[in-house]
Structure 1
Amino acid sequence: MSKYKVTPVDQELKFSSDEIIVTKTDLTGKLLYANDVFCRLAEMSTEEVIGQPHSVIRHPDMPRAVFQLLWDTISKGKEIFAYVKNMSATGKYYWVVAHVTPTRDRAGNIIGYHSNRRAPSRAGIADIMPLYRELLAEEAKGGDRKAALAASTGLLKAKLDAIGKTYDEFIWSTGEANV
């Protein structure tokens, strides 16, 4: 990605349901591998993305609480599914359903992470957007970043507790279940 701050634009990039975005990272989220679908949607070359933090494609419309949940889950050795809105080098956006898993060495130690992403259903995106808007509003209320993240994370937990589902269960109860 460019050294300059990318400004989001309201133009969606799409990829087909038979394509899979694949990336591998180290323990800190630095990209070690990115397939051609990832590079095409990120609008960057392989050379530009390798060695960059995976957050190089982070869209500001993504609640930090979702990434906190993702990192908390995978660092414990568990997998997670998540809706993620990403941003290309030109500011365009694209949605994915990410499946992130730890990568382990022969001794079972976590040595990095592997993510496969597919194109989500339109119904799934419509189902997740109200929650993400609420989380973003909570994060924008002010205060320091740490307090805002804690408030948003608390709201996410409360929302999931209220419906009696984990985040993964919520994902699969949305329009995504119809894929």
Structure 2
Amino acid sequence: MSENSNQRPALTGRERQFADDELIVTKTDKGGRITYANRTFLRVAHMTEAEALGTPHNCIRHPDMPRVVFKLLWDQIGAGKEIFAYVLNRARNGDYYWVFAHVTPSRDMGGNIIGYHSNRRTADRRIVSEIITPVYKALLDEEAKHSRIREGMAASEALLGKVLRERGQSYDQFIFSL
């Protein structure tokens, strides 16, 4: 998918997998455009290096991923912090794959954020099916109740905050308790 393409592949319902001892690695510039992608990413995302480089990283965004999770991600890394998250991605051919992502800011010698680095491991299937999928579905349902994206994200963010308060956990505590 080229940077100029707004097309998203139709969902196939097929899952792509990678081994537990493999890492998916990408780096992006500050605007989120891919500057590096390892072979595992290219294989699992079903992309060539030429297709990946320069393309916005959200080219692999799956529509069943709540927008609020990406808001949280960008809020954290934009503030110079790391984040861990379960993410459902869409490969270029419409297949899907789950990852457990660790995203960190990349800095220059002066400490300024110049981009982002993401390592992804296989996601624990039990955690995805029993915990993450129901939470993400509730967040997506909340987002869908609103005609404006920002209103939907705000409502979804409030719902996520409520879930975390009920658990007595921060987002990070929640993720690491799974």
TM range (shorter): over 0.9
Q: Distance in 1 between matches of 2:40 and 2:128?
A: 20
Structure-1 separation of matches of 2:33 and 2:137:
28
How many residues are treated as equivalent by the alignment? 174
Residue 90 of structure 1 and its aligned partner are, at CA, apart by 1.0
Q: CA deviation at 1:101?
A: 0.4
Residue type of the partner of 1:157? G
| Match in the other structure for 1:94 | 97
Counterpart pick for 1:149 among 144, 150, 153: 153
Q: Which moved more, 1:155-164 or 1:84-93?
A: 155-164
- 2:138 equivalent to 1:137: no
Whole-angstrom CA distance in 1 between matches of 2:177 and 2:16: 25
How big is the shift at 1:142?
A: 2.5
CA distance in 2, matches of 1:37, 1:5: 21
Separation in structure 2 between the aligned mates of residue 90 and residue 9 of structure 1, nearest angstrom: 8
Q: Identity of counterpart residues, as a percentage?
A: 53
The answer for the alignment partner of 1:41 in structure 2 is 44
Moved over 2 A (4+): 2-5
Is 1:85 the counterpart of 2:88 in the alignment?
A: yes
Structure 1 unaligned spans of 5+ = 175-179
* Deviation at residue 78 of structure 1 after TM alignment: 0.5
Partner of 2:19: 16
- Cα distance in 2 for partners of 1:25, 1:166 equals 27
TM-score, structure 2 normalization: 0.94
Higher mean C-alpha displacement, 38-47 vs 3-12: 3-12
